[in-house]
Structure 1
Amino acid sequence: MIRSAPAAIAASLLAGLTLAACGDPGSAVDQSPPTAAGVEGVPDSSLTEGARPSGQTLRTVRQRGRLHCGVHQGLVGFAYTDNRGRWRGFDVDFCRATAAAVLGNADAIRFSPLSARERFTALQSGEVDVLWRNTSWTLSRDASLGLDFGGVNYYDGQGFMVRRSLNLNSATELNGARICVQTGSTTELNLADYFRARGLRYEAVVVETEDQARSNYAREACDAFTADISALAAARTTMPNPQSHMILPEVISKEPLGPVVRQDDAQWADIVRWTLYAIVLAEELGVTSQNVDEMRRTSTNPDVRRLLGVEGGFGEMLGLGNDWAANAIRAVGNYGQIFDRNIGSGSPLDLERGLNAQWNAPRPGLMYAPPIR
């Protein structure tokens, strides 16, 4: 049995959730809804004459005047509230992009913080319109829950964080360890598979939320904490002495994370999917939140002109205004801007792009958007 480090770690993890990233647009926790679509307050550019008939979700969002977006309960860099109570983070920015594309207003959102156990029920019941919450795309979730995944906005994998004082170099040395893990997630299943395949023993310290798992690890109720590597990196920043903790080198799973919608509305699935693709494509084409309006006026690149709605009428195909993508990019920037600001070099997490680099980058990754044409 691995013995825990003798010195107890006692610190509040809530401090990390008050980080405010400089330049991050943010959104209030509970904002008053704007007026309904078609009346004052919603730009005409978000409504298109002659568009194909709207699906129920788009109609509901427009009638309500705001998007209901499901997010993580609190994960530094991805979805958290700052010290002014405003939602910030990587996934939060994709919520904002969706609201901007649909309503022309990135602040027209109600954020619903959801646990891993609650998230799918909240979406199925209509409590939220979309999940932008680190959710792994798997066959069983895609085929059996009445849900559709709208692409991948972050390629992740599961790992283990341990205290350096344990002098471990590999996850294979965790035989007999106590491991903190969140229930109701692929994390719990992957953990069991990894140890069973190697004939190793472990004691699962199972909790309801990721926050509880972090808390248990911090007070040494377990020897290791397992989660997506991005979540481990976020958790490490909240520790009193982050350098006292390390993420072991093994990546034990593939975790393609992305937005989820209900399966009964193909139009809404298209809107969410292509909002993601537009953000990814904007980086490839050099369109940013700063230059989007200038490029919309002056660019002669056909790909840019189609993306920004100058030609082609592609917004109408989605039931949106042709400036839908321009609105989203103007609000939050392109994929690289969102990444750097929240979880990359411009953030406390300082995560490398890795698999999340563009497909044509000097060090290529997997980020690739189908063409808008």
Structure 2
Amino acid sequence: MKRIAVTALLVALVSTAQAATLDTVKQRGTLVCGVSAGFAGFSAPDSQGNYKGLDVDYCRALAAGVLGDPGKVRYVALTAQNRFTALQSGEIDVLYRNSTQTFLRGVTLGLRQGPVNFYDGQGFVVRHDAGVKDLKGLNGATVCVAQGTTHEVTLGDYGRANNIDWKPLVFDRVDTMYQTFFGGRCDVMTQDASALAGAVATAAPNPADYLVLPTTISKEPLGPFTRNGDEVWSDIITWLHYGLVEAEELGVTQANVDEMAKSSAPTVQRLLGVSGDLGSRLGLDNKWMQQALKATGNYGEIFERNVGQASPLKLERGLNASWTKGGLMYAIPFK
């Protein structure tokens, strides 16, 4: 009997630890979401101070699914240096800050990497009048790069492997890096290719003067981070993404979600909580994905609105297209 009691106590303690963030968010009534303050298309405040972007829409979808209101989010702007410590310390509930997932980040930070929500690669931007057509033309160039990022490491690795002697100029703030590059102090700037496109579109004095080179030198799988030991919360973050991707595949949109909830298709019924009793297994309302989709639409809608053809960045879907259209976005089934 003593062994059974001890086992029951351990199970109860583990369950309590796993549900900690979800309970905290519900009791607080607000989701605290870690984002960037300066990545156009991903997370940046507009002229009224309202955050917009792909990462921001994930925060809004999460708040809608968990709290029933996409507006119940407090955004915490983080730098590359303090983003992971903010999550580790509990300052934020989840990190959505276009952060690259890597082996070391996965096993040394005490954090869990969620599913990839944007496939990117490290690129370079130069002035058109520099006449640079490829990376070999950057030998001897001064390169603006952000501190505490994978870009800083990859830049050194690639330069040594390809005999390119570039001179890094390292910045702890992205906005300062942009000002320096567009002010002419660096010959080239390196970052995720999507971020470079956003910087040119929104921060350059004359976007037509700049060229994002076609070559990328790394894989940059971007996605959310949560704390280890909180499996329920991490599962919610995971299944939110899969739900947004599955919705696109099934044709469920922000505009038609109520009508699609009347569908007789089992896959649609389970996704939208009409059948299957799936949401309750996460401690949520069974129709949590309906609420999320009403707030932001499916993954394709989020992409197009923030970084795709309906945005200033006008990025192609590429690897971020649905697997049915040659991309890598593939959802684990809701069943």
Q: How does 1:75-90 map to 2 (within 5 A)?
A: 75-90=39-54
Q: Which one of 237, 244, 251 corresponds to residue 279 of structure 1?
A: 244
Q: How does 1:234-273 map to 2 (within 5 A)?
A: 234-237=198-201, 238-273=203-238
Distance in 2 (alpha carbons) for counterparts of 1:370 and 1:192: 37
> Which segment drifts farther, 207-216 or 261-270?
207-216
Cα deviation for residue 250 of structure 1 reads 1.3
What SS is found at the alignment partner of 1:133? strand
What SS is found at the alignment partner of 2:123? strand
* Structure 2, gaps ≥5 residues long: 1-14
Equivalent residue, structure 1, for 2:88: 124
Q: Which one of 63, 71, 79 corresponds to residue 99 of structure 1?
A: 63
Q: Which one of 165, 171, 176 corresponds to residue 212 of structure 1?
A: 176
The answer (yes or no) to whether the contact 1:180–1:205 under 8 Å persists in 2 is yes
Q: Does residue 1:358 correspond to 2:322, yes or no? A: yes
Q: How does 1:197-346 map to 2 (within 5 A)?
A: 197-237=161-201, 238-296=203-261, 298-346=262-310
Structure-2-length-normalised TM-score: 0.94
- Give per-residue Cα distances to partners, 1:6-35, cap 9 Å, x unaligned: xxxxxxxxxxxxxxxxxxxxxxxxxxxxxx
Distance 1:232 1:53, change over 3 A: closer
The answer (yes or no) to whether the contact 2:123–2:215 under 8 Å persists in 1 is yes
What SS is found at the alignment partner of 2:99? coil
Cα deviation for residue 209 of structure 1 reads 1.5
Q: Does residue 1:372 correspond to 2:334, yes or no? A: yes
Cα deviation for residue 229 of structure 1 reads 0.2
Code of the residue aligned with 1:358 in structure 2: it is S
Distance in 1 (alpha carbons) for counterparts of 2:273 and 2:16: 17
Distance in 2 (alpha carbons) for counterparts of 1:146 and 1:330: 33
The answer (yes or no) to whether the contact 2:124–2:212 under 8 Å persists in 1 is yes
Distance in 1 (alpha carbons) for counterparts of 2:268 and 2:298: 13
Distance in 1 (alpha carbons) for counterparts of 2:79 and 2:243: 28
The structure in which a higher percent of residues are helix is 2
The answer (yes or no) to whether the contact 2:37–2:45 under 8 Å persists in 1 is no
Distance in 1 (alpha carbons) for counterparts of 2:257 and 2:166: 52
Equivalent residue, structure 2, for 1:5: none
Equivalent residue, structure 2, for 1:7: none
What SS is found at the alignment partner of 2:264? coil
Structure-1-length-normalised TM-score: 0.84
Distance in 1 (alpha carbons) for counterparts of 2:272 and 2:142: 52
What SS is found at the alignment partner of 2:74? strand
Distance in 2 (alpha carbons) for counterparts of 1:342 and 1:169: 28
Code of the residue aligned with 1:125 in structure 2: it is S
The answer (yes or no) to whether the contact 2:18–2:231 under 8 Å persists in 1 is no
Distance 1:54 1:124, change over 3 A: closer
Q: Percent identity?
A: 51
Cα deviation for residue 215 of structure 1 reads 0.9
User: CA RMSD of the aligned region, Å?
Assistant: 1.3
Code of the residue aligned with 1:63 in structure 2: it is Q
- Give per-residue Cα distances to partners, 1:88-139, cap 9 Å, x unaligned: 1111000001111111111111100000001000000000000111100001
What SS is found at the alignment partner of 2:132? coil
The answer (yes or no) to whether the contact 1:170–1:248 under 8 Å persists in 2 is yes
Cα deviation for residue 202 of structure 1 reads 1.2
Equivalent residue, structure 2, for 1:24: none
Cα deviation for residue 53 of structure 1 reads 9.7
Cα deviation for residue 80 of structure 1 reads 1.0
Cα deviation for residue 172 of structure 1 reads 1.6
The answer (yes or no) to whether the contact 1:53–1:319 under 8 Å persists in 2 is no
- Give per-residue Cα distances to partners, 1:218-259, cap 9 Å, x unaligned: 111110000000010001112121111101121100000001
Equivalent residue, structure 1, for 2:11: none
- Number of equivalenced pairs: 320
The answer (yes or no) to whether the contact 1:52–1:316 under 8 Å persists in 2 is no
Equivalent residue, structure 2, for 1:70: 34
Cα deviation for residue 173 of structure 1 reads 1.4
Runs of 4+ residues over 6 Å off in structure 1: 51-54
Distance in 2 (alpha carbons) for counterparts of 1:146 and 1:63: 25
What SS is found at the alignment partner of 2:234? helix
Distance in 2 (alpha carbons) for counterparts of 1:140 and 1:299: 44
Distance in 1 (alpha carbons) for counterparts of 2:120 and 2:17: 37
What SS is found at the alignment partner of 2:216? coil
Distance 1:127 1:52, change over 3 A: closer
